[in-house]
Chain A
């Protein structure tokens, strides 16, 4: 599962607004750690921010099935194939939990999906990178899902009830994703030199894009402050990123892998690992559509949707036929 602090709201949405009494009441409620439920009054900007964030999150889950889906038929054993199938099915399920949560805010699911397919909606930049080797399936689970868990655990305490509840369900399932990924990488690292090299090459490609998943630096993240005040966000992008680096470095050491950052070293004074500069130009390029395979991902997503059209039409026709039958029987009985 994959959320990302993409922070790409239209500027107007975040324009400075005069606060009404209701807004102040609302912020006081959130400050008391009250949860907000669908029927409650909420500021329009809060509702819009949530719709954007939850739907981007849902889109990320759904697009996230694509990089891994291609490896289902090429998994190296039946065991790995079963595990990968289950994982990819989970990602689809996570997308559905999240669309369901977004809909409680009064938005229509079809509109959300249209926004994804037309390229209007964003999704996590990480899925626009290619899965070139089997090791990438391990790395995605270990690093990408690991980063996603860092992001998502605090969202289980989000002020919006339906989002928080969806995240609790997601996080329970996510841990399996990370562990199966680590298990793949570990098997490679304990294998032949060629397998170890495959794991290392994969980590070299995924490390930096994974760190970008946490979103822009706090100093450049214009929405973070508001999202914190609203209880949508609980921990800042930079703090989450640091936490991820701190837990991941020892894991890489255990595996005997190096992380591709010459500035990466323990800082005893801070009690954290220092790490190098992130290439934000690359981040924005990928988020805004010019990643290694943005177009391909959207093409595949839309094709999957179109290829499924006849199934949806058949289900609709079947439902209509069943309803007609029930009506005919009721007429007969009357």
Chain B
């Protein structure tokens, strides 16, 4: 185990986030991540790690550092204002019974 800490091999392979489409007609969904030497390698590894039981028909991999995310500390500023905009939902409106389904 002496040279387990050497940095000449896989160490430093970038992290890829993996997305799987479970069947045609559905969105790709995030399932996890893995390290690979490049994107094509990541697809090959994702097949073995995340689709051993026909979980998917298509795989996307995205370098983790290419993802830009919203700021979690801004969660309330970002998303709370929508809580009182109930008029954006169809259930806000009364439809007379005579009209039936709309």
B62 an interface residue at 8 Å Cβ cutoff?
A: no
Q: How far is the CA of A319 from the CA of B72 in the complex (A)?
A: 34
List the A side residues contacting B15 at CB < 8 Å. 103
B41 an interface residue at 8 Å Cβ cutoff?
A: yes
Beyond A100-B34, A118-B1, A306-B3: 20 further Cβ-contacts under 8 Å? A39-B69, A93-B52, A96-B32, A96-B34, A96-B49, A100-B33, A103-B15, A110-B11, A117-B4, A118-B4, A173-B53, A305-B4, A313-B8, A315-B10, A315-B37, A315-B41, A316-B10, A318-B37, A318-B38, A318-B41
A–B pairs, 7, beta carbons within 8 Å: A96-B32, A101-B32, A166-B32, A312-B9, A315-B36, A315-B41, A316-B10
What is the CB-to-nearest-CB distance from B53 to chain A, in angstroms, rounded to a whole number?
Answer: 7
Q: How far is the CA of A176 from the CA of B5 in the complex (A)?
A: 36
A-B contact count (CB 8 A): 69
List the A side residues contacting B13 at CB < 8 Å. 312, 316
Chain B residue at minimal CB-CB distance from A310 = B9
What is the CB-to-nearest-CB distance from B69 to chain A, in angstroms, rounded to a whole number?
Answer: 7
Give the top 3 A-B pairs by smallest Cβ distance, nearest first: A312-B10, A319-B37, A319-B38
What is the CB-to-nearest-CB distance from A139 to chain B, in angstroms, rounded to a whole number?
Answer: 24
**Contact (A309, B9) CB under 8 Å given A89-B52, A302-B1, A323-B38:** yes
List the A side residues contacting B35 at CB < 8 Å. 109
Chain B residue at minimal CB-CB distance from A40 = B72
Could you tell me which B residues sit within 8 Å of A by CB distance? 1, 3-5, 8-11, 13, 15, 31-38, 40-41, 48-49, 52-53, 69, 72-73
Taking a contact as CB atoms under 8 Å apart, the answer to whether B72 and A39 are in contact is yes
Majority secondary structure, B binding face: loop
A13 an interface residue at 8 Å Cβ cutoff?
A: no
List the B side residues contacting A39 at CB < 8 Å. 69, 72
Interface 1/0 per residue, A102-117 and B, CB below 8 Å: 0100000110011001
Taking a contact as CB atoms under 8 Å apart, the answer to whether A316 and B72 are in contact is no
Interface 1/0 per residue, A315-327 and B, CB below 8 Å: 1101100110000
List the B side residues contacting A109 at CB < 8 Å. 35
List the A side residues contacting B3 at CB < 8 Å. 306
What is the CB-to-nearest-CB distance from A40 to chain B, in angstroms, rounded to a whole number?
Answer: 6
List the B side residues contacting A319 at CB < 8 Å. 37-38, 41
